[in-house]
Structure 1
């Protein structure tokens, strides 16, 4: 539906649903414009389109309008028996056939969802014991909310909460109070309820990219599933409380090993909801001035990197769908433009260029092979495929980076074509030998000769370190630092703490390096090697040893781009051009050492 000519972009179109008469009556509503800066009170709907087929009809201002079955089902559940309900619904309030209007309204969606008094998250009709799931979420969440758990979600009080949940002082009053809540919650977590929770988290809403910003921007978000409702805050607090309970009481609940395995498998299936809660909490913290919130690059990593990637019908919406919640959208200058909906390559090129120009060169770590989008340059991430985490990924987005391969400022070079990225940097060396791919293994707790693949991996790296030493090149600051390479390389110089956070490797890893007997340190060392999965050990002509992408070849170059935290592998092409291959760990150059040993060069990536 087009906007009246006398309406500015400061207005939004709202829908008022008439009260229900009979259950099967045709749904009737009227639409009207209201100023966005001072709107009539309204709720916004967050839901999924499912197949997207417009098969159902409703009456809008007396005329028939076709909508999806999923929306019609939602409207029947949400309409009030005796009062009109005012809603903003994209399917009705935006002309879906008008790309220009879609772009304009998508650009306003951030303001629309912020302005709504509530965002109703429609998950679908009751099924798979969802009523039991919602009841447990609400019971546990309400008790945690009344105790004040949400007040600890600030930078100042977060350390106190960590002491409470880790039971640093079991006699502490707050610790005792909180774990009384946890103890009351755990009996509610039966296998039936766990299965219901897992099914709840598998609902289509949790798989779509657009709903992330709708949920994240809401001042108040309400999950609606069948006839049950629960606030987003209560759902978050319930999830966190039950998570703490599982961590503390896992060894006594459930009683049998078989039940434990089933329970943990089901509980891990709740993981997808964490992205939604984390993004919403970051946005709330940003609005309260507690931290900066999430940049577009950080959001793209949360949503599309690793196992729990969200889906979009049109590839361009992998970017457009999170612009409204990013803290740097205006600075990046990225505009929603559906005239490019068939040019995914250009959308991704321009997005990556904007992020790099804004100072985040290490988005390059997510430009991985093979490329599945036609025409996509080698240096541009493909958000429609499975993107693996960088080995230097940090869960805490505000943490300082592990490495600083370049101390220099970003050096962008103007190029005649936007598909070519020009960067200043340093050529480290040419790759001379490559070992086999480290496939990794989740069985990092196994020890001794039961874990042959792990020790074969260590042996490959050790052989390259011996070869490096035989070259007698002065590439390390000291002989003792050279000796450390053999245990730093397998874990990318990042070790795991007791809380499974990554930190720069210490000599504790040296002690665990060749452990063949059971021990926590050895298990954590093996776990740390999983960061380097899918990488190949290599050695350069001068003797630099590292781990690079699986698609690297002999003759590829290790380079450090100005402004980059990591080194990268590139492949020389004809005409002075280079193909970007991927990130690497290269021992001895991760902290800016190469810049005093090489002259600056120009690299044109295609």
Structure 2
């Protein structure tokens, strides 16, 4: 006996009808009844939000006398849901408890029923009296530790009235025992474990969380309310952004690996924070959308919500699109008779159609596509988003160039999708002449697979087109920086980078005056950098060490005259120890940042520019700026059409550079048909 024997009578969708599960026994064995009911406002029920888990790891439960195989995850969840309903509604008749569980309340083998029930998902989860998010029974101790840690942090935040100014010193970490190594590692590991749960990575679960009016995350022994969890993680994010914006220095009492959770290199950081906070930020977008009266702003919020399709996983590739329809008003109807290619092309067309009337279009789906970024197993157009691969962790490339072709060349024809062809306007800028390897630090150093490529480039082109040393340009490319910022920390990173590569940099003539210029960066935390700018291609960089290095403020007191007195103590044994600590921080940041380049390739163009592109880029690929996308892209000629390779960056190919070439008519507007 299997699932198909449960559904002798199809649901009447004209009413409409749904099925609800009644738990008869939930101890050692699970026994249930399935009830078909008319879905209306009088229903009182809970809804389960859970991960199906390993399909091969099953347990049998009894439904209407039939033994049905379900995942161990679902079986475990059903043993605990009733007690949380009783906790939330102690005055209700517990014998009337009913719960909606998608796997058994929908006939999954009936495509028509599945399609119609998916249309009801928004109403089901928003109407449920209680939504229970099952976090699982495995490693329950770690989840309990995480929940206790979050509760303790929340109490501290409430005591500080959630004020950033009172919290950004991070002194509260001491009160929570979160900087006392090695004991504190248990707490951080539990938070990382919680954020790494598969629960936070499923597309349907995001929708279920947002639509729920009352939501508890549950384990066999403990629960935490949605608002408690999200408030703490939101404050984490605000603190992190504040520290980044203020370019804060690491307090001596905070271990480096914990500091990186608050102030990480760009596009890296506290994974637990990102995975869980994603649900909170999506909820904010949806809340704004429901209150927004302006139709154009509503459509933009629909597009923003649609982008979560590439961040979360689904068993059926079509559910990356269908799993968010309860949150958006995009004109897409779930239809499981369509193949993946049809669904994804319709999804992209809906995003374009939502921008009708806007001068500037945003082809947001391009950041999740590209034949050079992803291996296509779904037979999609090269420009279409590879949502399952992206959601599984294959990183996309975002360079934040903030370019706009329509600002440079107004009056462009809007992008259009005809069948499976994306037609848009653009210009060709440069062509790839040579491609190296992934610019991670171990590949760039002597013996690495990209060292010889870099050494050859520096010898041939010691001075870059933008009139900076080519070794500096290389640093900016691999760090994904669009301009040189001569602040202290950047120059310390540059100095460390040059020393690590130990390249043979050819000598060069000084400036005509022959008088070098010296510039010292502002002192930060006892360190600064002296630059000797002599017009050559290898300026000398020297680290300057302050006598105050290693000192920290102990207290402040005010004298009778109103002067502030400050006493300090050395936080390290000596200058040498302090310098080692600062140097380690710089070195760690450099290595950590360059790790994200593992899926990229460094390249040289036909005019000697350096850039970064996807791992599948090739000699002959063309750097283009296309209407509707803010980064440069690589296109590959295929007959009369083009293949979209992926986003890229080329140091020096700025909006100023592009405008100049357009004004000189060195580049002309073209229509690209991308397949």
Question: More deviation in 558-567 or 369-378?
Answer: 369-378
Cα RMSD (Å): 4.7
For the structure 1 residues 228 and 276, does the alpha-carbon distance in structure 2 shift closer, same or farther, using more than 3 Å as the test?
same
For the structure 1 residues 600 and 196, does the alpha-carbon distance in structure 2 shift closer, same or farther, using more than 3 Å as the test?
closer
What is residue 232 of structure 1 aligned with on the other side? Answer: 226
- The counterpart of 2:476, out of the listed 467, 491, 494, is 491
Residues 20-419 of structure 1 correspond to what in structure 2 (within 5 A)?
Answer: 20=25, 23-24=27-28, 26-36=30-40, 38-52=41-55, 56-60=60-64, 67-80=70-83, 82-125=94-137, 127-130=139-142, 132-133=144-145, 136-137=148-149, 139-140=151-152, 143-144=155-156, 146-147=158-159, 161=164, 163-167=165-169, 183-184=175-176, 186=178, 190-238=184-232, 252=253, 271-272=271-272, 274-284=274-284, 286-287=286-287, 304=310, 310-325=312-327, 329-331=328-330, 333-340=331-338, 343-356=339-352, 358=355, 359-368=361-370, 369=372, 370-385=374-389, 386-392=393-399, 402-407=402-407, 408=410, 411-412=413-414, 418-419=419-420
SS in 1 for 2:441: coil
SS in 2 for 1:27: strand
1:259-303, Cα deviation, whole Å (9 max, x unpaired): 999xx99xx997246323333244235415799799576567667
1:293-316, Cα deviation, whole Å (9 max, x unpaired): 9957656766746xxxx4322222
Question: How much does 1:120 deviate?
Answer: 0.4
* Matched-pair contact (CA < 8 Å) for 2:132–2:215: yes
* Matched-pair contact (CA < 8 Å) for 1:426–1:595: no
What is residue 585 of structure 1 aligned with on the other side? Answer: 649
Question: How much does 1:181 deviate?
Answer: 8.2
For the structure 1 residues 16 and 365, does the alpha-carbon distance in structure 2 shift closer, same or farther, using more than 3 Å as the test?
closer
Question: How much does 1:226 deviate?
Answer: 0.7
Aligned positions, number: 534
What is residue 423 of structure 2 aligned with on the other side? Answer: 422
Question: How much does 1:317 deviate?
Answer: 2.1
Q: State the alpha-carbon separation in 2 of the partners of residues 132 and 315 from structure 1.
A: 33
- The counterpart of 2:601, out of the listed 535, 538, 548, is 535
SS in 2 for 1:233: helix
Question: How much does 1:438 deviate?
Answer: 3.6
For the structure 1 residues 338 and 361, does the alpha-carbon distance in structure 2 shift closer, same or farther, using more than 3 Å as the test?
same
Give the TM-score taking structure 2 as reference length.
0.65
Give the TM-score taking structure 1 as reference length.
0.72
Question: How much does 1:601 deviate?
Answer: 1.2
1:392-443, Cα deviation, whole Å (9 max, x unpaired): 25xxxxxxx633355246645667x622222221122444x21412432389
1:11-56, Cα deviation, whole Å (9 max, x unpaired): 4625252465x834652335243445x3423321101222347752
Q: State the alpha-carbon separation in 1 of the partners of residues 463 and 254 from structure 2.
A: 52
For the structure 1 residues 259 and 98, does the alpha-carbon distance in structure 2 shift closer, same or farther, using more than 3 Å as the test?
closer
Q: State the alpha-carbon separation in 2 of the partners of residues 274 and 107 from structure 1.
A: 29
Q: State the alpha-carbon separation in 2 of the partners of residues 142 and 18 from structure 1.
A: 35
Question: How much does 1:218 deviate?
Answer: 2.3
Structure 2 segments unaligned to the other structure (5+ residues): 1-6, 87-93, 356-360, 500-541, 544-582
Q: State the alpha-carbon separation in 2 of the partners of residues 299 and 442 from structure 1.
A: 38
Q: State the alpha-carbon separation in 2 of the partners of residues 13 and 236 from structure 1.
A: 31
SS in 1 for 2:387: coil
- The counterpart of 1:552, out of the listed 599, 609, 617, is 617
Question: How much does 1:66 deviate?
Answer: 5.6
Q: State the alpha-carbon separation in 1 of the partners of residues 456 and 332 from structure 2.
A: 45
Question: More deviation in 550-559 or 482-491?
Answer: 482-491
Structure 1 segments unaligned to the other structure (5+ residues): 153-159, 168-177, 394-400, 470-480, 497-502
For the structure 1 residues 132 and 522, does the alpha-carbon distance in structure 2 shift closer, same or farther, using more than 3 Å as the test?
closer
SS in 2 for 1:106: helix
* Matched-pair contact (CA < 8 Å) for 1:571–1:580: yes
Question: How much does 1:240 deviate?
Answer: 6.6
Question: How much does 1:227 deviate?
Answer: 2.4
For the structure 1 residues 561 and 238, does the alpha-carbon distance in structure 2 shift closer, same or farther, using more than 3 Å as the test?
closer
